Structure 1
Amino acid sequence: MVKSRQRAVLGGTADEVEAAFYEALQQGDIDALMACWADDDEVFCVHPGGPRLVGTAAIRAAFEQMFGNGAILATPGKVRKVETLSSAVHNVLERIEVLTAEGPRHAFVLATNIYHQTSQGWRMVAHHASPGVSHEPVEAHDPPQMLH
Structure 2
Amino acid sequence: MVVSPTVRAAVIHWVTEWYETYILYRYSGEQISGELPKYEITALPEGYVETERIEMPEYFCVTYKNEEGQWLRFDYSYMQQGSALDILTEGVEVRDITVNGFDGQIFLSLDPKNDNTLTWIDPSANLQFTVDAFLDESAILHIAESVALKESTK
What's the TM-score bracket when you normalise by the shorter of the two chains? Answer: 0.3 to 0.5
TM-score (norm 2): 0.35
TM-score (norm 1): 0.36
Q: Give the number of the structure whose residues are more often strand, by fraction.
A: 2
